Amino acid sequence: MHAQRSDVQALLADERGSPRTPLHNADDKPPRTTTCRREAVLALAFSLCVVAAVASRSFAASPPWLSSAQQQQQSQYHQQQRKPLPAPKPGPQNCGATALPHLCCGVCQFERRLCSSSTLPSRISTAQVAAQLAGQHRRLQDVTPCELFQRIRGRTLWLLGDSQTWSLFTAAECFLREFAPSLQRTDPLPSKQLNDLLTVAEATHCNAPYPVPPLCLELVLGTRICVVRVDYAQHMRRFVLPALMQHVPRFKRDLVVMNAGLHYTRDVSCVEGICQVPGPESRYVRELRKLVEWRAPRRNRLPKTVWMETAPQHFPGTGYWTGSYRVTQGQSCEPLAAWQRGAPVELAGGNWNAAAAQFVPGLADAHLRIWNASAPLWDSHLPDECTHWCHPGAYQLWLYLLNDLLRVNALGNPVAVQGP
């Protein structure tokens, strides 16, 4: 989806010669952009937006970080308040932590699993995915890296959520890589103790749990994209948001995208192919209600926030998770039959989003609706599963929708240079 390396990227390259990660998409081909049609257009747009950024940027002094003693004290307090994550267990060869998606791959590499190697009976190519997206009458080529960069210039775009939100981060950092002086990712906070406050989730690989630490990609002009893996709303309320409020200078000026839903699997009850919306006593609804109550008195001290819908899954049957994130040999992901026949709950975003809808005004300043846009993409998931998608695909579509949402709701900076 991205253009070949331009002179702009060369100018931004680290003069010390820090290594750059090879660029690969899910089909192991050099990515191309659908944004800037020619490198000259991107170079011109980049120069113009840098001029606009320098002219409008406020260089307010950042408050100092906490001392080492204060950091350690805060870290110890938070560790006492939450259940510690288990330490990684040794596993077979190729089952180490570096095989995990959040550690295995550099910018624009996304995953080790290649969509071209899928064994599922139905699998479409990335060209067909692009045709599907174009068929939704969305002009994805009209949003450029320069436009999105201007919207977040001088701020951190925080992505807080589960593995789907993490995949959105990988799409965003790849899309904006022209503005990165180095493709080496960094920690969001300046010490291990502080970053530990944001490590609240784990990923299971080869039957062993691994903590998932937060990551950032630094861009020019004091801009960053950062991701924090957090699967539950209660962890956002108790740990992640308080830590960011306390330890990130000018956090109120940043932008936040939040999501939670897929990991509340015990709240889903399906009988004869019909799944019930989580009710008022479900864990999901109770935790969202508490998050709204927590945000209410603090809203003026929090950044502008976007609540992102929970994405659809396409497992055989109801579409929802069936006990394993893999599909068995001979099976395939399937279209959402209830969505196709116009079932009200499915058109409203499925069970999670129907349950969350009443809380969105208290959770965020804007609502990123991705369900209906992603529902048709049932046959472009990663190999042997029906939850995560190939790149390019749904995540690049969400990025387009996010940029549009920021524009419509006047969130972030005004944009001086728009379009291709």
| pLDDT (0 to 100) of residue 264 | 86
Q: How many domains does the chain have?
A: 1
The closest alpha carbon to 306, from 235, 241, 257, belongs to: 257
Alpha-carbon distance of 392 to 32, in angstroms, equals: 10
Amino acid identity, position 340: Q
Q: Is 71 a domain residue?
A: no
Q: Find the domain containing 175 and state its range.
A: 7-55+91-408
Alpha-carbon distance of 185 to 67, in angstroms, equals: 24
Per-residue pLDDT of the chain (420 residues; tens, 9 = 90+): 433 333 333 323 332 233 333 333 333 333 333 333 333 334 334 434 433 433 333 323 333 333 344 444 444 444 544 555 455 444 444 555 555 555 667 888 877 666 765 544 445 555 666 666 666 666 666 789 999 999 999 999 999 999 999 999 999 999 999 999 999 999 999 899 899 999 988 777 666 778 889 999 999 999 999 999 999 999 999 999 999 999 999 999 999 999 999 888 877 776 666 677 888 889 999 999 999 999 999 999 999 999 999 999 888 877 777 565 566 666 788 898 888 888 888 888 888 999 999 999 999 999 999 999 999 888 888 887 888 888 888 999 999 999 999 999 999 999 886 665
Q: Is 77 a domain residue?
A: no
Return the CATH number at 17. Answer: 3.40.50.1110
**Could you tell me if 284 and 352 are in contact, meaning their C-beta atoms sit under 8 angstroms apart?**
yes
Q: Is 75 a domain residue?
A: no
Give ∠ CA 70-195-176 in degrees, rounded to 5: 135
Q: Is 237 a domain residue?
A: yes
Give ∠ CA 389-227-145 in degrees, rounded to 5: 70
Amino acid identity, position 380: S
| pLDDT (0 to 100) of residue 416 | 80
For the record, the structure tokens of 62 come out as 């950042």
| pLDDT (0 to 100) of residue 311 | 94
Q: Is 35 a domain residue?
A: yes
In three-state form (DSSP H/G/I as H, E/B as E, the rest C), the secondary structure along 231-294 is CCHHHHHHHHHHHHHHHCCCHHHCEEEECCCCCCHHHCCEECCEECCCCCCCHHHHHHHHHHHH
pTM of the model: 0.77
**Could you tell me if 105 and 381 are in contact, meaning their C-beta atoms sit under 8 angstroms apart?**
no
The alpha carbon of 169 is separated from its chain's Cα centroid by a whole number of angstroms, namely 4
| pLDDT (0 to 100) of residue 56 | 37
| pLDDT (0 to 100) of residue 268 | 74
Amino acid identity, position 306: V
Q: Is 148 a domain residue?
A: yes
